[in-house]
Amino acid sequence: MTNNLQEKLFALFHKHYVAYPQEMTELAASGSNRKYYRLRLGDKTTIAAFNNDEKENQAFVSFTQQFAKAGLPVPIILEENLAEDIYLINDLGDETLFSYLETHRQEGFSEKQMDLYKNVLGDLLRFQFDTLNTFDYTACYPRESFDKQSMMWDLNYFKYYFLKLAGIHFDEQKLEDDFITFSDYLLQTDCNYFLYRDFQSRNIMIHENKLYYIDYQGGRKGALQYDVSSLLYDAKADIPQETREKLLDYYIDLLQQKTRINAEDFRKYYYGYVLIRIMQAMGTYGFRGFYENKTHFLKSIPFAVANLKWIVQHSELPVELPTLKDVFYQIISSEKLKKFDTVTAETITVFVNSFSFKKGYPVDSSGNGGGFVFDCRALPNPGRYEAYKSLTGKDEAVKVYLEQYPEIETFFESSSNLACQSVENYIERGFTSLMISYGCTGGQHRSVYFAERLGRHIREKYNIKVKVIHKEQTGI
């Protein structure tokens, strides 16, 4: 980050708070070119965003203001300077729906997770219907609707960045003909609702036990089925198929309370939108993974292929798409793509431990040795105060106590940067295990806090297996 950008962000922060931040930390990058920073002043944190795409910024600000007016749970824009491509929003924390799923993956898809998704689907209907007759689409970017041209962009993105780079063979003209037939079919359904565009688990925040929604700047007018498809066939969330069908039933039941629809017709178009969403996602995996060589995107391919296989085997569209179907069968049987399934199954496992220095270091069960041990004992200790003695670093009160101190963020940033450097190197070299440990006096507060936070951070950033073990809580 340039000093000039920092000065601009600090000036915008000062405009809102009449004070300058004490600390600024860049957040982990996502699939976009936007950059986010956490600015801290005392116990208050704020998110600053920089994006040099002027129209995308305008769309985000316009949509946020409209959603907020409708009472929808979205970030609050605290200040904006779109002439400088920057704005401030309130801090919704680090926990996404995806990170929650990953943390509780070993439990299976529990009732609590089912309830979370039902709440998300209820909120989705609010985005679709509470804005139905009032939403101003003029700021939409790059199109006001998910129309034929938008669909062809996605389909060609899939063709050039996934099919060609994955070595899938096809007749260019015949595939183009099928794309036209397919898009014409999808546009036969009602396409007059707000389409969020990227409605998936990484764009849903869980903050103070409430759901919030972000990254809707690509929204436009479109069909109801698209966003349900995005959510339920979110590759990395890996929702069990039976659960997907139950959640779709739940959504349709809620939808029928809003408007008159034929459930059978809705499902027929739904599976078509599942397919175009899978193809769009595969285009992204190909572009980021094959073309930009960001290998962690390739880890999502097996999940997308599994979803595609289920759809091909269990649904039938009422249009003839012979070349596209052949492409799907090639993807499902591709030996080149199967190797990513092997990498996903046998990839690195990162063990993140908390422990007490008084009781000894965690044992490296992999036998590889190495890794990191970070000493938290120089940091503020909530264990000294009676109010926190029965709590652990998982409890919100302990998190609030720790995060009021700037040195906590500095320590986490330094330790996570070192850890992630090794994670990336180990992934590239095909290593299968890395151990990272945080130690403090009792192994209850500080070390637990950092182990939990790093575990979430690594899962979010790399989509790999992470096991968080609290030695003094488990007795391991």
Residue position matching structure tokens 């004992």: 377
- CA atoms lying within 13 Å on the CB side of residue 10: 14
Averaged pLDDT, groups of 10, the chain, 476 residues long: 85 97 83 86 94 96 97 98 97 93 83 96 98 95 95 98 97 98 98 97 96 97 98 93 96 97 95 98 94 82 94 94 98 90 61 93 74 95 94 93 94 94 81 92 96 92 86 70
**Residue 344 has what pLDDT?**
43
User: Other CB atoms closer than 10 Å to residue 150's CB: what's the count?
Assistant: 18
Structure tokens at 436: 């990272």
For the chain, which domains are there? 3-90 (3.30.200.20), 97-344 (3.90.1200.10), 347-474 (no CATH)
- Tokens 């190197």 sit on residue: 425
* Res 346: pLDDT: 45
229 to 40, 111, 245: CA distances (angstroms): 37, 21, 11
Per-residue model confidence (pLDDT) at position 191: 97
Predicted local confidence at residue 325, as pLDDT:
97
Residues contacting residue 173 through CB under 8 Å, at least 6 positions apart = none
pLDDT of amino acid 106: 73
d(CA 138, CA 148): 18
User: Do 254 and 117 form a contact (C-beta atoms < 8 A)?
Assistant: no
Residue 50's contacts (CB-CB under 8 Å, 6 or more residues apart) are 5, 9, 34, 35, 36, 37, 85, 86
Smallest CA-to-CA distance from 387 within 445, 471, 440 is with: 445
d(CA 67, CA 429): 46
| C-alpha span between 334 and 305 (Å, rounded) | 10
In the DSSP assignment, the letter for residue 387 is G
Contacts with 363 (C-beta within 8 Å, 6 or more apart), sequence order: 476
Amino acid at 109: F
List phi, psi (to 5°) of 75.
-60, 160
- Distance of alpha carbon 347 from its chain centroid, rounded? 20
Q: Which of 217, 193, 195 is nearest to 58 (CA)?
A: 217
**H or E stretch covering 466:** strand 465-470
The DSSP line for 278-324 is HHHHHHHHIIIIIIS--GGGGGGHHHHHHHHHHHHHH---SS--HHH
